Amino acid sequence: MLTRAYQHDLNSSRVPIGEPLLDINGVSMHFGGVNALSDVSFSVRQGTIHAIIGPNGAGKSSLLNCISGLYRPQVGEIVMHTLNEHGAARHHKLTGLPPHRIARLGVARSFQNIELFTHLTVLENLMLGRHIHMKHHLLASMLWFGPARNQEIEHRALVEEVIDLLRLQPHRHQAVGSLAYGIQKRVELGRALCLQPSLLLLDEPMAGMNSEEKEDMARYVLDVHELAGVTVVLIEHDMNVVMDISAQVSVLDFGKLIADDVPHKVESNPAVIEAYLGAEDNR
C-alpha cells in the first residue's frame, strides 16, 4: 500500500471526491479534411475510473492527446480543477499549454505503444518519472552531494513504493527491453504513477495481452485508483474490463460523443450497440 508520503503533496490540491476534476467543453479537432473530434463535451469526476470507448478511428487517442498537450484542438477548451493552499478553487485551461506544464499540474499518461527506454533498467525508467519533481541543478545532481543527495533518496523511496505496489521487485535491475510485454506495460504504468498524478490517462493499457495478463493489469489499475487515490481516464476495447471497473463511460463514434453514462446504461444504449458493441461482438 502506498504511504502518506506518496499522497501528501496531492491531497491538499485535490477537489473533493465526486466533483468535476476535468471539464471537456465543445472540443473539435481536424486533420485536413478529417474530423477527429466534433464538439465533444463531458466531465471527469474526482475519484472515478472514467472509460472512453468506441470503434477504431473514433477519436479516443486524439482526445487523450488533447488533454495531455500533444495536440491542440482548433475549437473548445479543456479545464482542470484544483484547490490552492487555502482550499479555494483554481481552474487551469489545459488547451494551449505544453505537455510539461500539464504534467506539473498533475496529469500523467501511458501510451498505446510502449514508450520506455529499453536499454535502461526498470528502476531507472521509474526514476525518470520523478523528473518534474526534481529541483536541484545539473551540477549538484552530477556530484551527488548535500541537497541533491537527499533529494534523490527521497524520490527513490517513493519509487520503491510504486515497485512494491506493482510487484516489480524481481525485475528492478533488469533492462526493460529484456522483459515480457505484459511486464513492460506494467513498468509504463509505474512510470506514469511515479509522477504522483491527480489524473492518470491510460491509452489501451491491456492491448495485446492474453486473458491472464488483462486480469492482472485490471487489478493493478484498481489498486492505483484505490490506494493512490488517482482519478483514471481509460481507453480500452475489452468491454468486460470496461463494464467491470468503470464508474462512467463516454462513447465516441466518428469523433462525436454518442453516450456518456454509467456502464449498464451505456451497455444497453441502442446507439452504442449499433456503433460499437453490436458491431464488435466481444461481449
CATH code of residue 109: 3.40.50.300
Which among 174, 72, 74 has a CA at the least distance from the CA of 124?
174
27 is a domain residue: yes
216 is a domain residue: yes
pLDDT tens per residue across span 20-78: 999 999 999 999 888 999 999 999 999 999 999 998 889 999 999 999 999 999 999 99
Which among 133, 109, 107 has a CA at the least distance from the CA of 22?
107
| pLDDT tops 90 at residue 94 | yes
* Residue range 234-248: mean pLDDT, rounded: 92
User: In angstroms, how far is CA 16 from the centroid of its own chain?
Assistant: 19
Split at pLDDT 50, 70, 90, the class of 138 is very low
What is the structure's pLDDT at 279?
52
DSSP notation for 13-42: TPPPTTSEEEEEEEEEEEETTEEEEEEEEE
127 is a domain residue: yes
| pLDDT tops 60 at residue 104 | yes
Beta-strand pair 248-253/49-53:
parallel
Split at pLDDT 50, 70, 90, the class of 280 is very low
* Residue range 162-169: mean pLDDT, rounded: 92
Q: Which of the 8 DSSP states describes residue 113? A: S
**What angle (nearest 5°) sits at the alpha carbon of residue 127, between those of residues 2 and 61?**
85
How many alpha carbons fall within 13 Å on the CB side of residue 168?
32
Q: Which of the 8 DSSP states describes residue 114? A: -
* Residue range 217-224: mean pLDDT, rounded: 92
Q: Is 76 helix (H, G, I), strand (E, B) or coil?
A: strand
Measured distance CA(216)–CA(89) in Å, rounded: 37
Domains: count for the chain: 1
282 is a domain residue: no
Place of cell 504511504: 3
* Residue range 96-104: mean pLDDT, rounded: 91
What is the structure's pLDDT at 249?
96
* Residue range 127-137: mean pLDDT, rounded: 68
283 is a domain residue: no
Model-level pTM? 0.86
Domain carrying residue 126: 4-277
The contacts of residue 87 (CB under 8 Å, 6+ apart) are: none
| pLDDT tops 50 at residue 251 | yes
105 is a domain residue: yes
187 is a domain residue: yes
CB 2, CB 158: distance < 8 Å = no
